[in-house]
Chains A and B, each alone.
Chain A
Amino acid sequence: MSRRKERRPQRKRVIGADPVPVSALAVHDGDTTEEARVDGFSGSGEVRAPRKRTKHTEPLSLSIVEFAGLYASLAALWDMSAQYEQQLIKNRGAGRQWECSVADVMVYQLLINQLRSARAVDRFLQDPRNWKYICQQVEKAFPNHPERRLSNESPTRFQYIRMLKALVARIPGFHEQLRSGVTDAVVNAAKHAGCGQDKASLTHPSKMNMMMGDATWEQSLFNGINGRPYTHQYTGEICIARGDPDAKPFHREGSAPGNYFVSVIARTEHPHERFILDSQYKPDGVSDGTVFTNMALGLLNRFDRMQGVVYDMALKSEDQDRIGATGRHVLCKVTRTKSGRVRSEVIGNHKFVGSGSHFYQDVHSVDGCPVIEVVDIDGKKHLVPLTRKQSKLNGTRMYNHFEVPDHPLVPLSKRGATAWIRVFSSQDDLDAGKPRPRFIRSIPLNDPDFDRLYGLREDTESMHNDYKSRLVNRRARTIGLERRELDLRGYQLHQMAVAIAAWSMRTGGDVSEFLGNWKPPERLQRQKAA
Chain B
Amino acid sequence: MESDEPVRTAEVLEIVLPLVVMRYPAESGTAEKCAKTIRQALNYFLHNGAELIEHITPEMVDDFLWLGTHRREYKEPSSATAANRQWALRVLFELLREMGVWDGPDMTGDSIDREHGRSSRPATPDEIEQIQIMATNVLVPSGDELLLALALCGGSASEISVVCREDIDLDEGEIHFVGVSERVNRIPEWSQHVFEETVTRLPESTPLVVRPGLPLARATQSVTTRLNNLMKRAGFSRVSDMTGVSIRLGAAQQILATEGLEAAARFLGNQSLDLTAKSLRYDWWAQN
- The interface of chain A, by Cβ under 8 A from chain B, is 19, 357, 375-379, 381, 407-414
Contact = CB atoms under 8 A, between A and B. Distances in A.
A504 B62 CA distance: 63
Contacts of A411: 48, 63-64, 66-67
Contacts, number: 48
B47 A412 contact: no
B40 interface: yes
29 contacts: A19-B74, A375-B44, A375-B47, A375-B48, A376-B68, A377-B68, A377-B69, A378-B40, A381-B47, A407-B68, A408-B67, A408-B68, A408-B69, A408-B70, A408-B74, A408-B76, A408-B77, A409-B67, A409-B74, A410-B68, A411-B64, A411-B66, A411-B67, A412-B62, A412-B63, A413-B59, A413-B62, A413-B63, A414-B63
B224 to A, nearest CB: 22
Contacts of B67: 376-377, 408-409, 411
A377 B44 contact: yes
B40 A379 contact: yes
A409 B68 contact: yes
A357 to B, nearest CB: 8
Contact of A379 (B43, B68, B77): B43
B278 to A, nearest CB: 25
B75 interface: yes
Interface in B59-87: 59, 62-64, 66-70, 74-77
Given A378-B40, A379-B40, A413-B63, A408 B47 contact: no
Tell me the interface secondary structure of chain B in the complex.
Answer: mixed
Nearest to A408: B68
A407 B64 CA distance: 14
A375 B68 contact: no
Given A377-B70, A409-B68, 19 more contacts: A19-B74, A375-B43, A376-B70, A377-B40, A378-B40, A379-B40, A379-B43, A408-B69, A408-B70, A408-B74, A408-B75, A408-B77, A409-B67, A409-B74, A411-B63, A412-B62, A412-B63, A413-B59, A413-B62
Interface of B: 40, 43-44, 47-48, 59, 62-64, 66-70, 74-77
A377 B75 CA distance: 12
A376 B75 CA distance: 11
| Interchain residue pairs A-B with the least CB separation, the first 4 | A408-B68, A411-B63, A379-B43, A408-B74
Contacts of B64: 411
Contacts of A375: 43-44, 47-48
Contacts of A377: 40, 44, 67-70
Contacts of B76: 408
Nearest to B57: A413
A322 B68 CA distance: 43
Contacts of A412: 62-63, 66
Contacts of A410: 68
A359 to B, nearest CB: 8
B61 to A, nearest CB: 10
A506 B276 CA distance: 70
Contacts of B47: 375, 379, 381
A483 to B, nearest CB: 62
A357 B60 CA distance: 14
Contacts of A413: 59, 62-63
A379 B67 CA distance: 11
Most A-side CB within 10 Å, residue of B74, B76, B77? B74
B84 to A, nearest CB: 12
A377 B68 CA distance: 7
B88 to A, nearest CB: 12
Contacts of A378: 40
A408 to B, nearest CB: 3
A410 B74 CA distance: 10
A414 to B, nearest CB: 8
Given A412-B62, A413-B59, A413-B62, A379 B74 contact: no
Contacts of B59: 357, 413
A45 to B, nearest CB: 50
Nearest to A412: B66
Nearest to A376: B70
A24 B74 CA distance: 16
A407 B74 contact: yes
A7 to B, nearest CB: 33
Contacts of A414: 63
Contacts of B44: 375, 377, 379
A196 to B, nearest CB: 43
Nearest to A410: B68
Contacts of B48: 375, 411
A372 to B, nearest CB: 12
A493 B24 CA distance: 86
A104 B20 CA distance: 97
B47 to A, nearest CB: 5
B118 to A, nearest CB: 20
A144 B77 CA distance: 79
Nearest to B69: A377
